[in-house]
Amino acid sequence: MKFPFLLPFRAFAALTLLALAAHAAPAIKIGFLVKAPEEPWFQLEWKFAEQAAKELGFTLVKIGASDGEKVLSAIDNLAAGGAQGLIICTPDTKLGPGLVAKARAAGLKLLTVDDQLVSANGQPMTKVHYLGISAGKIGEDVGKTLAAEMKKRGWTAADTAVCAATFDELATAKARTDGAINALKAAGFPENRIFKAPQRTGDIPGSFDATNILLTQKPDVKYWLVCANNDNGVLGAVRALEGRGFTAATAIGVGINGTDCIVEFEKAKPTPFFGSMLLSAKSHGYDTAKMMYNWIKDGKEPALDTRTVGVLITRENFRQVLKEQGIRD
Ligand code: FCA
């Protein structure tokens, strides 16, 4: 070794450089909290967010939280762990103002996805960044699909009724079923044969129970058309219909998400689950994660309100469309 006296200096210089590098670019950490981690839709959102994390080089913290208390403690944990941002589909949109205050106090940038926060008076919090679906339009497409399929089969309005499994406490859900009902009415379906089955919870059991009550009240309907907030809403209704002997030949259901109905489409025998409006899990997972990353890294604020579209999938085309969208191999 020629200049042994230089060693301590070199070690010092290397350490200083490392410290400087760490200071110049703090590791980016982003939380992605979803309300129902067991549902395929949210698993796909996470999968695409993870893809962004890998490509851009940040840490993604996935959190499942089914109630408000869990959301608030998740924010504390994220802040303690050095996160700078939170993407959230909250289990309770009415947490709105409290959630915003808590995130701000914790120094977290906030981007809401899927479900928009509401203020104390129930109005959407339009100043909080949000990426969601064009709920009314997608709902209308559900209604148009149901009306077209009914016409194709030659069912009369007198023999047919609509079961709308509703979850009106969630604004995006209400906009979807309202859109479907409006499109059915616009297609000439009589309003007095459109029935709402209000769900107590936003999951499959919630719509199963609600639909069973409706079916008990309307035993004489020959054919049913079904719409709901999402695939799970239609799935619950379909299971209730099957319990009363309805089949793919006597009931038509059209869901929303296109991700939670794949198993249904893969069944050898068709069920009343006719189709679904496939949403873009990639936009909701990858794009939101990238928006948050750019916001933290370069101060590039995302658009306040972004809306995504849906495309109809059925047993006929789902394999091809899922492949095109990178959801299935
Ligand atoms: C809501 C629904 C989900 C999904 C998402 C885009 O959160 O509950 O199933 O449709 O919007």
pTM for the model stands at 0.92
**pLDDT score of 1 more than 70:** no
Closest alpha carbon to 85 in 298, 316, 318, 319: 298
Q: pLDDT-derived band of residue 328, with 50, 70 and 90 as boundaries? A: confident
With beta carbons less than 8 A apart as the criterion, state whether 289 and 60 touch.
yes
- Model pLDDT, residue 2: 46
CA of 35 to the centre of ligand 1 (A): 9
User: Which ligand 1 atom is at minimum distance from the Cα of 89?
Assistant: 7
C-alpha 194/C-alpha 172 separation (Å) is 20
Looking at residue 288, its pLDDT comes to 98
Please give the average per-residue pLDDT across 116-134, as a whole number: 97
- 230, 231, 234, best to mutate for ligand 1 pocket (most atoms within 8 Å of CB): 230
Tens digit of each residue's pLDDT (9 = 90 or more) over 49-73 = 999 999 999 999 999 999 999 999 9
Separation between Cα atoms, residue 40 and residue 44, nearest integer Å: 6
Ligand 1 center to 232 CA (angstroms): 10
The residue among 235, 327, 219, 321 whose CA lies nearest residue 274 is 235
- Cα(100)–Cα(77) distance, rounded to whole angstroms? 16
**Which residues form the pocket of ligand 1, taking CB atoms under 6 Å from any ligand atom?**
41, 89, 114-115, 133, 172, 202, 229-230, 256-257, 279
230: CA distance to ligand 1 center in Å?
7
Tokens of 282: 């990639």
Span 244-252, mean pLDDT?
Answer: 98
Q: How confident is the model at residue 7 (pLDDT cuts 50, 70, 90)?
A: very low
Measured CA distances, 51 to 60, 116, 140, 179, 288 (Å): 10, 24, 32, 33, 12
Task: Provide the pLDDT confidence category of residue 13 given band limits of 50, 70 and 90.
Answer: low
Q: Rounding to the nearest 10 degrees, give the CA dihedral for residues 80, 85, 87, 90.
A: 40
The residue whose CA has the least distance to atom 5 of ligand 1 is 114
Substitution candidate for ligand 1 out of 87, 88, 92, 115 with most atoms within 8 A of CB: 115
Atom of ligand 1 nearest to the CA of 256: 10
The two beta strands, 310-314 and 273-279, are antiparallel
Instruction: Kindly report, residue by residue over 145-199, the tens digit of the pLDDT.
Output: 999 999 999 999 999 999 999 999 999 999 999 999 999 999 999 999 999 999 9
CA–CA separation, 43 and 285 (whole Å): 9
SS3 call for 299 = coil
pLDDT digits (tens, 9 = 90+) for 278-308: 999 999 999 999 999 999 999 999 999 999 9
**The amino acid at 173:** A
- Per-residue pLDDT at 136 exceeds 60: yes
Question: How does pLDDT run across 197-212, given as a tens digit for each residue?
Answer: 999 999 999 999 999 9
Q: How far is the CA of 11 from the centre of ligand 1 (A)?
A: 54
